Amino acid sequence: MTSAPWALGDGGNEAKRHAPATLRNRDAIGAVLADWLPPAGTVLEVASGSGEHIVHFAAAFPHLDWQPSDPDPDALTSIAAWSAEAGLANLAPPLMLDAASPDWPPARADALLCINMVHISPWAATPGLFAGAARLLPAGAPLILYGPYVEADVPTAESNLAFDASLRARNPEWGLRDTADVKAAATTAGFALTERRAMPANNLMLLFRYG
């Protein structure tokens, strides 16, 4: 992510936003999702951002229903614009959802996906994410995180240290989280970390299962 994650979308549509990292990471993320997502059901994406990821995944996994969400009105507008252009029957309209809030509009989901939110939000959003997911997901369902993290037994890449410093300069409540803290929040909500995969550009995908 750069200091300006949003750019105008193509075709002069000012409603659409573009996150450059999406094109670089969506195929690598999709390859892992193919292993971790359920064979059927609804995938709730929390913090869908521009909407580019979920449109790509809805096309790549047509056997699943996809529900985007975000707390930012500009993001919701962008998600709706990308979704309208894609015209996918398995992609629902975006919902206003703040991970830190106890009030989530969806009643249920079969999987939860959250990309690049944990480090660009106050810490309260992370335990809120697990608490909200516990209210929605059935036993054994996956909660999947993607992004950069700090690990006690793994040296942190210089690029990630610089990224962490830039995030904290922009907002002292942001920054790369230690996976131990994330796992502790997950455990409190009834989730267990079942798999970790190293990803390109010093990112991780973490698979938690509920119950």
Q: What is the pLDDT along the chain (211 residues), one digit of tens a residue?
A: 333 454 555 445 678 998 888 989 999 999 999 999 999 999 999 999 999 999 999 999 999 999 999 999 999 999 999 999 999 999 999 999 999 999 999 989 999 999 999 999 999 999 999 999 999 999 999 999 999 999 999 999 999 999 999 999 999 999 999 999 999 999 999 999 999 999 999 999 999 999 9
Q: Which residues pair with 146 in a beta bridge?
A: 115, 205
Q: CA 160 to CA 56: how far, in whole Å? A: 26
Closest CA to 22 of 45, 41, 39: 45
Task: Answer for the pair 179, 147: CB distance below 8 angstroms, yes or no.
Answer: no
3-state secondary structure 146-190: EECEEECCECCCHHHHHHHHHHHHHCCCCCCEEHHHHHHHHHHCC
Task: Answer for the pair 99, 117: CB distance below 8 angstroms, yes or no.
Answer: yes
Q: CA 188 to CA 14: how far, in whole Å? A: 41
